[in-house]
Structure formats: C-alpha cells, structure tokens
Amino acid sequence: MATTADFRNGLVIEYNNDLYTIVQFQHVKPGKGAAFVRTKLKSIKTGKVLDNTFNAGVKVNVARVERRPFQYLYREEMGFVLMHTENYEQITVQESLIDNHEFLKEGDQVEVVVHADNEIILGVDIPQFVVMEVTYTEPGLRGDTATNTLKPATIETGATIMVPLFIEAGEKIKVDTRDKSYVERVK
C-alpha cells in the first residue's frame, strides 16, 4: 500500500481492477479546501490514457513490476523473439506489447516489463534513441535552407520519418523513438 505522497512517474498502481502506470501527476493545494492529486493514468492492457483526481492521502495498491534485460533476436509470425541476456531464455512477445516496434533492429537491447506476482508480460520498452541508416530519401535542393524544411526518409528497418533537407541516403542518423523524430546526424 502506498499513498498519494508516493506517486512518481512510471509507478504502476492497481485501480478499477486494472493496472495503470502514472504518466503525469501534480499535487494541488488550493487556498480553500483539501489538497488533491491530479494524475494521468495509462492502462497497461489497453494503452488508453485517463485523467483522474485522487484526494491527498488516499491509499492505493502498488503493483510489483520488474524490468528484465532482453535482446531482440528476430521477428516471426507469432511476434518478436527476445532472449534474456543473463540466462539465455527465449520468449515470444506479441507486436501489440511493443510501442514503436518499427525501430527495432536485430541485436538491440530492450527491457521487458513483467508483473512480478503472476509473471505476465506487461510491455517492452525499446531504447529512447536509436541510430539508423537512411536507405532512401529524395535529394534536397541546394540553397533551400531559409526555413526548417523536412522531407520523408526511409530508414533501414523500413520505417519512414521526417528529416532535414541535408540528409542523404547512406547516412546514419539518431532517431527519438518516443515521437519518431530526427535528432541529429551521427558520424
């Protein structure tokens, strides 16, 4: 059991017979009345985000969640095959449990989020930044740098992201997997 004072981003709680992770929270102490905590909760099963308000000091059940290191091996028709990096156990994870799976390359390190009480896989966290090679993009026009203009580029995993005009095919770039955006060119 925990109280609203223990809230932090990423904490997994049991709420309405489901598991939710706290995406955002804010303690509010109005000038008049009791304090409360405004939260954004994301359902682990459905991915739906809901806004909720808890009175200050309310007790909530905290779910025991473990993060285990795995390596992505390959993709098959049943899902993604991952190998535990310590005991070499292989598991197959459904595509729906991996956000932004189009940025996974064979050999990438990922973290599998597991409910510790019943060993149910809740999700897979891929690295926040990945380095990818641009396989195809239209050539940029010389001298067209007056504005921050972007063009589509296909990267080595087949995903398409928007990159600046100066990026050419064959270059390596750093991509933010959270919002699928270009970060920088990698030498």
Instruction: Tell me the residue range of the domain where 21 lies.
Output: 2-62
* pTM flag (> 0.75): no
**Is residue 44 located within the same domain as residue 74?**
no
Last residue of a domain, one of 62, 91, 109: 62
Same domain for 133 and 81? no
90 and 120 in a single domain? The answer is yes
Residues 56, 80: one domain? no
Domain end (from 85, 103, 125): 125
**3-state class of 36 per DSSP?**
strand
90 and 115 within one domain: yes
Q: Are 25 and 71 in contact (CB under 8 A)?
A: no
Q: What is the pLDDT of residue 40?
A: 94
Q: Do 69 and 40 share a structural domain?
A: no
Give the full edge-to-edge strand order of the sheet including 2-3.
2-3, 59-62, 12-15, 18-28, 36-43, 49-55
For residue 24 the two structure tokens come to: 């955002």
- For the chain, the domain total comes to 3
Identify the CA nearest to 130 among candidates 84, 161, 152, 90. Answer: 161
Structure confidence at residue 45 (pLDDT): 77
Structure token digits, residue 185: 């060119």
Residue 136 and residue 182 share a domain:
yes
* Whether residue 107 is found in the same domain as residue 92: yes
Instruction: For residues 157 and 134, state if they share a domain.
Output: yes
The Cα 47–Cα 77 span in angstroms is 23
Tell me the C-alpha distance between 174 and 186, whole Å.
6
In this structure, what CATH number is given to the domain that contains residue 24? 2.30.30.30
The pLDDT mean for the chain works out to 89
Say which CATH number the domain at 91 has: 2.40.50.140
Q: Virtual CA dihedral for 67, 73, 89, 123, nearest 10 degrees? A: 30
Mean pLDDT on 167-177: 92
Q: Quick one: 53 and 70 in the same domain?
A: no
- Out of 62, 85, 103, a domain closes at 62
In this structure, the answer to whether residues 81 and 119 fall within a common structural domain is yes
pLDDT single digits (tens) 15-70: 888 889 898 999 999 988 899 999 999 888 777 889 999 999 899 999 888 889 99
Is the pLDDT at 143 greater than 70, yes or no? Answer: no
